Amino acid sequence: MCGIAGILNFNEKRADPVLLARMAERIRHRGPDDFGIYTDKQMGLAHTRLSIIDLGAGQQPMHNEDKSLSITFNGEIFNYLELRRDLVRKGHKFRTRSDTEVILRLYEEKGEECVQDLNGQWAFAIWDSKRERLFLSRDRLGVRPLFYTVAEGAFVFGSEIKSIFALPNISREIDPVALDQIFTFWVSISPRTIFKNILELPPGHSLTVHRKQVAAQQYWHLDYAEGSKNVGNAAAHEEQYVGELLDLLIDATRIRLRSDVPVGAYVSGGLDSSLVTALAKKFCNSPLKTFSITFDDAEFDESSYQNEVIHFLETDHQEVRCSYEDISHVFPAVIWHTEKPILRTAPAPLYILSGLVQEHGYKVVLTGEGADEMFGGYDIFKEAKIRRFCAAHPQSTTRPLLFRRLYPYQQYLQGQSDAYLRAFFQVWPDELKSDFFSHLPRWELTSKLKLFFSEEIKSQVRSHDGYADLRSTLPPSYSVWDGFCQAQYLETAHLLPGYILSSQGDRVAMAHSVEGRFPFLDYRVVEFAAGIPPHLKMKVLNEKYLLKRCADGLVPPSTRNRPKQPYRAPDGKSFFQGSQLEYVDALLSADRIQQDGLFDSLAVKSLVQKFRQGRAIGVRDNMALIGILSTQLVVEQFVRNCGGKPFYAEHRAGTAPVCR
């Protein structure tokens, strides 16, 4: 795993190696093992390497024999051995054992269509000097990041935005529309980022730059046509689905163990990571190394479930305990890595966890990410199902009792009277017709946070319609898909890359030079899952039913049968324990809020007061605090200062979090 960056000057000016080195330096955490720069006339490529495959060779940027093609690549191509074999058969000669060279040869063979053959997680750029054409690509689901901008007569790209900001004269300005989207959907809608004029290459897209023309094309998209066709199909052969899925998962895991360094696994205590660990174990001769987070706060701690899994699977286990103080302590660093506002602190413990992995000398971990999206694990799917069921018979007094089955971990919700529960989950007349039915309650709740926006921001986004933005990105067939599939699509196409795989995934893992690998996101698994009838994913209200069938006998029965508990961490409370935190006080002060101009200083003051008095316990207040604080940290670390030394480095109190 690595970091990539590059500059393509539109005039004849030679790319400046000093600037390329500066860009690479900013993302050195992604690849501390090696470093390379290549310039060819107006094109400059940079690479920071985390050596995982072919440790001795495989340096980048890499070239073909006549140096007409050069590549800088971040990621892994898991089927590279099979692709290599085919290419050798066609006469290609290889100089290394690396997957990087496989991409290069495949590009020679097939051109830009080469991405269709890749099974993996990637962001790469190939400079085709004969054709003066730059080709960039990002994996199907958006595991690896890639950002770009056109500025100062050049096309500039990098694995992280901070590498682009290493260049002089790149404007660093918050985009109010992106802020509005994040305070609605939890993510900005790709290609938009929180910074004006900085774009990301959306998942499943490639991009070419040729003589000032920048063009992105989608090469893959999620398609739920078959799954929708199979809705309620009683003849759908459950046993056959279980068998085929298990075979696919075994193979997806097997090829994700390809590495010249040892591979570990995260264990959350839930079904998904346990199943991945169980499958990986089949291919390991020695006990698999596993890692987990535990929490001081019992509300979030899953250590008893984790212990069952590690004993059952006999892994060699390490854990790190996370306190409120640990979260507030690392939070500025976490935002330096996420490079965007977030509404939850959940990435912070994962940042600490990757530190533990690094401390134990590991560079690669398998995780269970993606299973909830592909196989229907989230409560949002269940909520939509129950709300539809209730709306079909609005007079029923028994149907709303099912709302008690939702969000069992939210104690305040569980304590409500039937009348309030009905009211919270009620279906408004227009909602049933909406193609966003499943997600409207979440988005409407999140949108309430906009009351904290300053008058200026409110007026700038007033005429903006986030739902219309989102609608414009939907595939043409979306409207005819089954509602369950539509909900899955919204989670997979937006929240997964925009938050789960980035803020909670790549960024906080790569912060400590750790690469995540995700068997559930093997595109064969994703495409297979999309075709499974929804009633087999969630059987009545039994979430991930088919996946649980696959896990029978492989994971402890208690893991298989426990209710789904989403991974969460303590939010606002983390920042108001014990002594006041200097950076929190500074960034949320009335002066600073007014200067930065994004939020209303009186409203923020009132919110902070509520937290200080211990009265802020709700989801909405917590999202507001984390959203505002993280936005202020983005402004502080990227807009106000974007020097080589991040803000958090100066504000670190004491030592780094201790791994216990």
Catalytically active residues are 2
- What sign for the dihedral angle of Cα 351, 352, 358, 364? negative
Tell me, letter by letter, the H, E, C secondary structure of 420-477.
HHHHHCCCCCCHHHCCCCCCHHHHHHHHHHHHHECHHHHHHHCCCCHHHHHHCCCCHH
Q: What character string, x for contact with another protein (CB under 8 A) and - otherwise, covers 441-460? A: ---xx--x--xx--------
Which is closer to another protein, CB of 304 or CB of 411? 411
Residue 600 binds another protein (CB under 8 A): yes
- Rule CB under 8 A: say whether 590 interacts with another protein: no
User: Is 603 a residue that touches another protein (CB under 8 A)?
Assistant: yes
Stretch near another protein under the rule CB under 8 A, chosen from 169-177, 282-290, 368-376, 604-612: 604-612
Q: How far is the CB of 399 from another protein (least distance, A)?
A: 18
Our measurement of the distance from residue 317's CA atom to the centroid of its chain's CA atoms, rounded to an integer in Å, reads: 25
| Residue 283 binding another protein, by CB under 8 A | no
Residue with Cβ nearer another protein (108 or 297)? 297
Is 604 within 8 Å of 398 (Cβ atoms)? no
Tell me the closest approach of the beta carbon of residue 360 to another protein, in angstroms: 39
| 3-state class (DSSP) for residue 186 | coil
As a whole number of angstroms, the distance between CA 205 and CA 223 comes to 15
Binder of another protein out of 304, 459, 561, 606 (CB under 8 A): 606
User: Of the ranges 38-46, 334-342, 381-389, 613-621, which one interacts with another protein (CB under 8 A)?
Assistant: 613-621
Residue among 114 and 457 whose Cβ is closer to another protein: 457
Between 415 and 643, whose beta carbon lies closer to another protein? 415
The two tokens of residue 35 are 């470093």
Q: How many residues does the chain have?
A: 660
* 3-class DSSP state of 574: helix
Contacts of residue 81, defined as CB under 8 A and 6 or more positions apart, other chains included, come to: 258
State which residue, 258 or 610, has the beta carbon closest to another protein: 610
Cα 187 to Cα 54, 181, 344, 368, 410, distances in angstroms: 36, 6, 12, 21, 23
The answer to whether 391 contacts another protein (rule: CB under 8 A) is: no
> Is the distance from CB of 544 to CB of 376 less than 8 angstroms?
yes
Residues 155-214 that bind another protein (CB under 8 A): none
Interface stretch with another protein, choices 149-157, 275-283, 366-374, 611-619 (CB under 8 A): 611-619
Q: Is 614 in the site for another protein (CB under 8 A)?
A: no
Q: How far is the CB of 345 from another protein (least distance, A)?
A: 18
Under 8 Å between Cβ of 341 and 639: no
- The residue with tokens 């839930």 is 270
Contact window for another protein (CB under 8 A) among 30-38, 55-63, 345-353, 602-610: 602-610
Q: Which of 45, 546, 555, 607 binds another protein (CB under 8 A)?
A: 607
Nearer to another protein, 231 or 603 (CB): 603
**CA angle, 473 as apex, 467 and 474 as ends, to 5°?**
90
Least distance to another protein, CB of residue 415, Å: 7
Residues 583, 651 contacting (CB under 8 angstroms): yes
Through-space distance between the first and last CA atoms of the chain, rounded to whole angstroms: 27
Minimum distance from residue 407 beta carbon to another protein (Å): 9
Based on the shown chain and the rule CB under 8 A, indicate whether residue 413 belongs to the binding site for another protein. yes
Among 197, 303, 307, 416, binds another protein (CB under 8 A): 416
Stretch that binds another protein, among 44-52, 294-302, 329-337, 405-413 (CB under 8 A): 405-413
Q: Are 639 and 162 in contact (CB under 8 A)?
A: no
List 423, 586, 649, 653, residue binding another protein (CB under 8 A)? 423
Q: For 505-573, give the DSSP string.
A: IIHHHHTTT-EEE-GGG-HHHHHHHHTS-HHHHSBTTBTTHHHHHHHTTTS-HHHHHSPP-------GG
The single residue among 617, 649, 653, 656 that binds another protein, judged by CB under 8 A, is 617
Contact at 8 Å (CB) between 470 and 363? no
**DSSP states of 342-378 as a string?**
-S-STHHHHHHHHHHHHHTT--EEE--TTHHHHHT-S
> Which 55-84 residues touch another protein, going by CB under 8 A?
none
Number of residues that bind another protein (CB under 8 A): 28
Shortest Å, Cβ 609 to another protein: 9
Tell whether residue 419 is a contact of another protein (CB under 8 A).
yes
- Identity of the residue, 531 or 566, whose beta carbon is nearer to another protein in the bound complex: 566
Task: Kindly state the smallest distance separating residue 152's Cβ from another protein, in Å.
Answer: 41
Q: Please tell me whether residue 424 binds another protein under the rule CB under 8 A.
A: yes
CB of 387 to another protein, least distance (A): 15
**Helix pair 303-313, 271-281: axis angle to 10 deg:** 20
**Of 618, 641, 653, 660, the one binding another protein by CB under 8 A:** 618
Residue 107, Cα to own-chain centre: how many angstroms? 27
Binding site for another protein (CB under 8 A): 410, 412-413, 415-417, 419-420, 423-424, 444-445, 448, 451-452, 600, 602-604, 606-607, 610, 615, 617-621
